[in-house]
Amino acid sequence: MSVAVKDPYQGYRGPCREVMERFGITVWCEVRAKTTQGLFEGLLLPRSETSDELHLVLKLGVGYNIGIRHDTVLELEKIGYREARYQIPEREFPTDPAHPNVKLLGTGGTIASRLDYRTGAVIPAFSPGELYGSVPELAEICNLETEKLFGVFSENMSPEHYLILAEKTGEAIREGYDGVVIGHGTDTMHHTAAALSFMVQNPPVPIIMVGSQRSSDRPSSDAAQNLINATWAAARGPIAEVLVCMFGPTSDLYNLLHRGTRVRKMHSSVRSTFRTLGDIPVAMVEKGKVTPIKDDWRPRRDDREVTVQAAFEEKVTIAYYYPGMQPDVIDAMVEKGYKGIIIAGTGLGHVNRLIYPALARANAAGVHLYMTLQTLWGFVQMQVYETGREILELGVVPLANMLPEVAYIKLGWALGVHPDDPEAVRTLMTTSMAGEMTEREPHDGYLILQGGIPEVQAFLEKVWR
Amino acid sequence: MAQNTEPSENRGVRPPPDVNPRTDPALDFPDKPLQDMTPGDYQVLGYMSGLEVHQQLDTPSKLFCRCPAGCRVRKVDAEVLRHMRPTLSELGEYDRTALMEFKTKKEIVYLLERGTVCTYEMDDTPPFGMDEVAVRIALEMAEMCNLNLVSELHVMRKQYLDGSIPTGFQRTAMVGLAGSVPFRVPELGVDRELRIRQLSLEEDSCREVSDVGHRITFRTDRLGTPLTEVVTEPELLSPHELQAGACLLAQVSRATGKVRRGPGAARQDVNVSVAGGRRVEIKGVHHHRRLPILVHTEAFRQLNLLRIRAELERRGVQRESLSIPEGGLPWEVTPLVLDVSSLVRHSNFQPARQAVHRGETACAVRLPGFGGLLTHPTQPGVTFAREIADRIRVIACPVHHPFMTHSDLGAESLSSQHWNQLARSLGAHSGDAIVVMWAPREDAATAAREVLIRAEDALVGIPAETRQAFPDGTTGFERILPGPDRMYPDTDTPPLPIPDRMVSEVRARLPEAPWVREARYRRIGLDARAARVLAVAVWADLFDEIVPAEGESARRLAGVLEKRIPFHSRRMRGAKPRLAEELPPATRLAPAVRALEAGEILPEALTRLVDELLENLDRPVEEVLGRYRRRPGDEERLRAALKAAELRAPLVLDGRSPDVKLRWAMGQVAPSFLGKVAPLEAEARLIAALGVGLEASKEVLPVGDSGGSETRAGEVSAEPAREKETLP
Ligand SMILES: [Zn+2]
Q: Which of A43, A54, A219 sits opposite B84 (nearest CB)?
A: A219
The number of C-beta contacts closer than 8 angstroms across A and B is 205
Shortest distance between the Cα of B197 and any Cα of chain A, in A, equals 10
Which residues of chain A lie closer than 8 angstroms to B215, CB-CB? none
CA-to-CA distance for B728 and B726, rounded, in angstroms?
A: 6
A265 is catalytic: yes
Residues 6+ apart with CB under 8 A from A231: A102, A104, A138, A141, A142, A144, A179, A181, A208
Q: What percent of chain A has pLDDT over 70?
A: 93
Q: Which of residues 383-422 of A touch B (CB under 8 A)?
A: none
**pLDDT band, very low/low/confident/very high, at B724 (cuts 50, 70, 90):** very low
CA-to-CA distance for A337 and A335, rounded, in angstroms?
A: 5
Shortest distance between the Cα of B358 and any Cα of chain A, in A, equals 28
- For residue A37, which of A55, A14, A62, A63 has the smallest C-alpha distance? A55
Q: Does A62 touch chain B (CB under 8 A)?
A: yes
Instruction: Decide if B13 and A41 are in contact by the 8 Å CB cutoff.
Output: yes
More confident residue, B356 or B622: B356
CA-to-CA distance for A358 and A349, rounded, in angstroms?
A: 17
Instruction: Decide if A37 and B157 are in contact by the 8 Å CB cutoff.
Output: no
Beta carbons within 10 angstroms of residue B507's beta carbon: 11
Q: Is the pLDDT of residue B15 over 90?
A: no
SS3 call for A114: strand
**pLDDT band, very low/low/confident/very high, at B596 (cuts 50, 70, 90):** confident
DSSP string, A338-374: --EEEEEEBTTTB--GGGHHHHHHHHHTT-EEEEEET
The reported pLDDT for the residue numbered B667 is 75
CA-to-CA distance for A250 and A231, rounded, in angstroms?
A: 20
Superfamily of domain B316-462: GAD-like domain (3.30.1360.30)
CA-to-CA distance for A210 and A244, rounded, in angstroms?
A: 6
Q: Is the pLDDT of residue B461 over 70?
A: yes
Overall residue count recorded for chain B in this entry: 728
**pLDDT band, very low/low/confident/very high, at A119 (cuts 50, 70, 90):** low
Q: Does B326 touch chain A (CB under 8 A)?
A: no
The reported pLDDT for the residue numbered B691 is 67
pLDDT in tens, B639-670: 777 777 777 776 776 677 777 777 777 777 76
The reported pLDDT for the residue numbered B714 is 32
**pLDDT band, very low/low/confident/very high, at B225 (cuts 50, 70, 90):** very high
Burial (Cβ within 10 Å: 0-12, 13-18, ≥19) of residue A309: middle
Q: Which of residues 364-383 of A touch B (CB under 8 A)?
A: none
Say if strands A200-201 and A207-210 run parallel, antiparallel, or are unpaired.
unpaired
CA-to-CA distance for B445 and A377, rounded, in angstroms?
A: 52
Closest residue of A to B177, CA-based? A40
Q: Which of B12, B151, B200 sits opposite A69 (nearest CB)?
A: B151
Mutate to test the interface with B, among A34, A88, A117 (most CBs of B within 10 A): A117
Q: Is the pLDDT of residue B8 over 80?
A: no
The reported pLDDT for the residue numbered B404 is 95
Q: Does A69 touch chain B (CB under 8 A)?
A: yes
- ipTM associated with this complex: 0.90
Cis peptide before B471 (omega within 30 of 0): no
Domain spanning A14-81: CATH 3.40.50.150: no
For chain A, helix, strand, coil in percent to 5 are 30, 25, 50
CA-to-CA distance for A11 and A311, rounded, in angstroms?
A: 41
**Residue B4 falls in which region: left (phi positive, over 0), alpha (psi -120 to 50) or beta:** alpha
The reported pLDDT for the residue numbered B93 is 58
- For residue A200, which of A151, A224, A167 has the smallest C-alpha distance? A167
- Tell me if domain A14-81 and domain A101-308 are identical in fold: no
| pTM for this prediction | 0.85
DSSP string, B512-528: PPHHHHHHHHHHTT--H
Q: Does B626 touch chain A (CB under 8 A)?
A: no
SS3 call for B179: strand
Question: Which fold would CATH assign to domain A316-429?
Answer: Rossmann fold (3.40.50)
Q: Which of residues 40-59 of A touch B (CB under 8 A)?
A: 40-43, 50-52, 54-55, 57
The reported pLDDT for the residue numbered B709 is 36
**pLDDT band, very low/low/confident/very high, at B718 (cuts 50, 70, 90):** very low
Q: Which of B12, B168, B198 sits opposite A42 (nearest CB)?
A: B12
Q: Is the pLDDT of residue B671 over 70?
A: no
More confident residue, B491 or B312: B312
SS3 call for B245: helix
CA-to-CA distance for A235 and B68, rounded, in angstroms?
A: 47
Dihedral over alpha carbons B489, B495, B501, B503 (to 10 degrees)? 0
Q: Which amino acid is at B495?
A: P
Instruction: Decide if B87 and A219 are in contact by the 8 Å CB cutoff.
Output: yes
Beta carbons within 10 angstroms of residue B246's beta carbon: 22
Q: Which of B78, B169, B494 sits opposite A51 (nearest CB)?
A: B494
CA-to-CA distance for B408 and B430, rounded, in angstroms?
A: 11
**pLDDT band, very low/low/confident/very high, at B485 (cuts 50, 70, 90):** low
SS3 call for B588: helix
Q: Can you state the angle between helices B586-597 and B551-573, rounded to 10 degrees?
A: 150
Shortest distance between the Cα of A451 and any Cα of chain B, in A, equals 10
CA-to-CA distance for B701 and A366, rounded, in angstroms?
A: 112
pLDDT in tens, A44-66: 998 888 889 999 999 998 889 99
Q: What is the average pLDDT across A211-223? A: 87
Say how far residue B511 (Cα) sits from the centre of its chain. 24
Mutate to test the interface with A, among B3, B10, B85 (most CBs of A within 10 A): B85
Q: What is the average pLDDT across A104-117? A: 72
Mutate to test the interface with B, among A220, A267, A464 (most CBs of B within 10 A): A220
Q: Which helix (H) or strand (E) holds A55?
A: strand A55-59
pLDDT in tens, A248-284: 999 999 999 999 999 999 999 999 999 999 999 999 9
Which residues of chain A lie closer than 8 angstroms to B89, CB-CB? 117
Which has the minimum average pLDDT: A16-30, A180-194, A234-248, B588-602?
B588-602
CA-to-CA distance for B384 and B307, rounded, in angstroms?
A: 11
Q: Does B114 touch chain A (CB under 8 A)?
A: yes
The reported pLDDT for the residue numbered B581 is 76
Residue boundaries of the structural domains of chain A = 14-81, 101-308, 316-429
Which has the minimum average pLDDT: A85-99, A434-448, B38-52, B160-174?
A85-99
The reported pLDDT for the residue numbered B10 is 47
Residues 6+ apart with CB under 8 A from B249: B51, B53, B181, B230, B232
Residues 6+ apart with CB under 8 A from A336: none
**pLDDT band, very low/low/confident/very high, at A231 (cuts 50, 70, 90):** very high
The reported pLDDT for the residue numbered B382 is 95
Q: Does B623 touch chain A (CB under 8 A)?
A: no
Radius of gyration (C-alpha) of chain A in whole angstroms: 26
SS3 call for A336: coil
User: Between 3.40.50.1170, 3.40.50.2300, 3.60.110.10, 3.20.20.210, what CATH number should domain A101-308 receive?
Assistant: 3.40.50.1170
CA-to-CA distance for B72 and B117, rounded, in angstroms?
A: 11
Residues 6+ apart with CB under 8 A from A262: A276, A277, A278, A279, A403, A406, A435, A436, A438
Q: Which of residues 146-175 of B touch A (CB under 8 A)?
A: 147-154, 156-159, 161, 166-169, 172-174
Residue boundaries of the structural domains of chain B = 3-62+72-279, 316-462, 512-626, 635-711
Q: Which of residues 201-230 of A touch B (CB under 8 A)?
A: 213-221, 224
More confident residue, A148 or B506: B506
Backbone angles phi and psi of B159, in degrees to 5: -70, 135
Backbone angles phi and psi of A264, in degrees to 5: -150, 140
Dihedral over alpha carbons B678, B615, B585, B541 (to 10 degrees)? 60
- For residue B324, which of B230, B504, B448 has the smallest C-alpha distance? B448
Dihedral over alpha carbons B40, B42, B45, B51 (to 10 degrees)? -150
CA-to-CA distance for B368 and B387, rounded, in angstroms?
A: 17
Q: What is the average pLDDT across B706-716? A: 35
Say if strands A179-183 and A101-106 run parallel, antiparallel, or are unpaired.
parallel
The answer to whether A183 and A211 have CB atoms below 8 angstroms apart is: yes
- For residue B460, which of B319, B272, B366 has the smallest C-alpha distance? B319
Which residues of chain B lie closer than 8 angstroms to A217, CB-CB? 87, 488
Q: What is the average pLDDT across B164-191? A: 93
- For residue B299, which of B269, B285, B322, B279 has the smallest C-alpha distance? B279
SS3 call for B39: helix
* Alpha helices (H) along B548-605: 551-573, 586-597
pLDDT in tens, A290-344: 999 999 999 999 999 999 999 999 999 999 999 999 999 999 999 999 999 999 9
**pLDDT band, very low/low/confident/very high, at B89 (cuts 50, 70, 90):** low
Q: Which amino acid is at B490?
A: D
Q: Is the pLDDT of residue B706 over 60?
A: no
The reported pLDDT for the residue numbered B700 is 41
Which residues of chain B lie closer than 8 angstroms to A84, CB-CB? 90
Q: State the distance from the centre of ligand 1 to the C-alpha of B531, rounded, in angstroms.
A: 43
| Greatest extent of chain A over all pairs of C-alpha atoms, in Å | 80
- Which 8-state DSSP code applies to residue B477? E
Q: Which amino acid is at A379?
A: F
